[in-house]
Amino acid sequence: MHRHEGHDACPGDAVDMLARAESLCRERGLQFTPLRRDVLEVVAASGKAQGAYDIAERLSVPGKRVAPVSVYRALDFLMEQGLVHRIASRNAFIPCAHVHAPGEGVIFLICRTCGGVDEESSQDLESGLGRTLERAGFTPAHSILEVEGDCGLCRDRKQAS
Amino acid sequence: MHRHEGHDACPGDAVDMLARAESLCRERGLQFTPLRRDVLEVVAASGKAQGAYDIAERLSVPGKRVAPVSVYRALDFLMEQGLVHRIASRNAFIPCAHVHAPGEGVIFLICRTCGGVDEESSQDLESGLGRTLERAGFTPAHSILEVEGDCGLCRDRKQAS
DNA sequence: GGCGGCGGTGATACACTGTAACACTCGCGC
DNA sequence: GCGCGAGTGTTACAGTGTATCACCGCCGCC
């Protein structure tokens, strides 16, 4: 479902994700609480972007309900630490597949067939964007780039049928 | 508030916008109804991105209320015709400042100080994106690129103070 | 003229997404 | 013990978007 090409780091699965998060929090003197851990686990376990309410439902068991607001707080924390990203066009969240260089731009490739989200970064694209912004006299603070289409696997599957 | 550089067409103000919309609808055999006209006018008149509920409120007068759902339908139509764009990161809508080449990509520069939105297109950026997508084996259908930051005017204003 | 279809609109209700405010607990330092 | 701050639970609410049905006006057709 995912393609990760040309990355420096590609932790990929949920276990690595949790280990990485834990060491990162320890390093920064922050709390990696059970709730935050659970939320990250749900986000990391599914290959698709998860809505906050989906996560809340997933974490709820009969007798122990997790409110969406708690999920949002955990997600805010995880986003601040760069462990998850928000997909604006879907109102959904995905685990961060990279270890990012500071200020590095990211592109999200969202497959409209399988729902999988791939995360790419491109120096080429980045410099093109920089030139365009400079030409427009605009000082960027934060940018989002999301492309919807068909991933390689889904395209092949379509052609085969 | 706006900067439009390197464009082929830059209608800019609301009157031109309405005239363009009307001729475009006639050309395509579509109805440019009063509601659609009013919605487009509100979107075009303000330099900032407008929420659907803002537009609904703006169009409502005592005794004659316009429901948000009607606004959404008009906006859907206007977006299909390429007359307005949706800013995903703001859940808001802006008039389309370009006459687009088919399939051409667009960048939105959103000023976090004045709230103005500028619309740029860049062949340079476009080709960089194309190369990145190809490298990832991804077939794009639709992309959104939104940059938040400070526009030239607001930056200058800040430095002056 | 009657009649049916179709696009657009009005209206209500509802689902989904996100935030504000307050109370409570727990761990920690004093 | 006591205060304090971070994290969480809970309720309520604001904001965003969609589903559904009813109605109206127009046009073509018999």
Q: What is the pLDDT of residues A37-96, one digit of tens each?
A: 999 999 999 888 999 999 999 999 888 899 999 999 999 999 999 999 999 999 999 999
Residue ranges of chain A assigned to CATH 1.10.10.10: 14-95
Written as tens digits, the pLDDT of chain B (161 aa) is 444 443 334 445 777 889 999 999 998 989 999 999 999 999 999 878 999 999 999 999 888 899 999 999 999 999 999 999 999 999 999 999 877 766 677 899 999 888 899 999 888 888 889 999 999 999 999 899 999 999 999 988 878 87
pLDDT at residue A13 in the model: 72
List A95's β-bridge partners, or say none. Answer: A84
Mean pLDDT of all residues belonging to chain A: 87
Q: How confident is the model at residue A11 (pLDDT cuts 50, 70, 90)?
A: very low
The answer to whether the Cβ–Cβ distance between A148 and B142 falls below 8 Å is yes
Chain A hits for B6, Cβ within 8 Å: 135
The answer to whether the Cβ–Cβ distance between A143 and B144 falls below 8 Å is no
pLDDT at residue B102 in the model: 62
Alpha helices in chain B (DSSP H): 14-28, 34-45, 52-59, 68-80, 123-136, 152-160
**Distance from C-alpha of B24 to C-alpha of B99, rounded to nearest angstrom:** 11
CA torsion sign, A7 to A134 to A102 to B110? negative
- Contact between residue A19 and residue A32 where contact means Cβ atoms under 8 Å apart: no
CB count in 10 Å sphere of residue B154: 19
**Distance from C-alpha of A24 to C-alpha of B98, rounded to nearest angstrom:** 45
Of residues A104 and B41, more confidently modeled = B41
Cβ within 7 Å of strand D: which of A 92-151? Answer: none
Q: Please state the length of chain B.
A: 161
**Distance from C-alpha of B40 to C-alpha of B2, rounded to nearest angstrom:** 18
Of residues A123 and B82, more confidently modeled = B82
For residue A25, is pLDDT > 80?
yes
The three-point CA angle B85-B5-B74 to 5° equals 15
Q: In angstroms, what separates the C-alpha of B98 from chain A's closest C-alpha?
A: 15
What is the CATH class of B107-160?
alpha beta
Burial state string for B51-72 with b = 16 or more CB within 10 A and e = fewer than 16: bbebbbebbeeeeeebeeebbe
**Distance from C-alpha of A23 to C-alpha of A17, rounded to nearest angstrom:** 10
The answer to whether the Cβ–Cβ distance between A147 and B128 falls below 8 Å is no
Residue ranges of chain A assigned to CATH 3.30.1490.190: 107-160
Chain A hits for B143, Cβ within 8 Å: 145-148
pLDDT at residue B62 in the model: 85
**Distance from C-alpha of B76 to C-alpha of B63, rounded to nearest angstrom:** 26
C-alpha Rg value of chain B to the nearest Å: 17
CA torsion sign, B91 to B50 to B97 to B147? negative
pLDDT at residue A32 in the model: 96
List A108's β-bridge partners, or say none. Answer: A119, A146
**Distance from C-alpha of B96 to C-alpha of B44, rounded to nearest angstrom:** 9
**Chain D bases near protein CB atoms (7 A cut-off):** 6-12, 15-20
For A124, which residue in chain B has the nearest alpha carbon? B128
d(CA A34, C1' C26) / Å: 14
Task: Report the topology of domain A14-95.
Answer: Arc Repressor Mutant, subunit A (1.10.10)
The type of residue at B99 is V
Reported as half-sphere exposure (CB side, CA atoms, 13 A), residue B138 has a value of 33
For residue A12, is pLDDT > 90?
no
Structure tokens belonging to residue A12: 């990929």
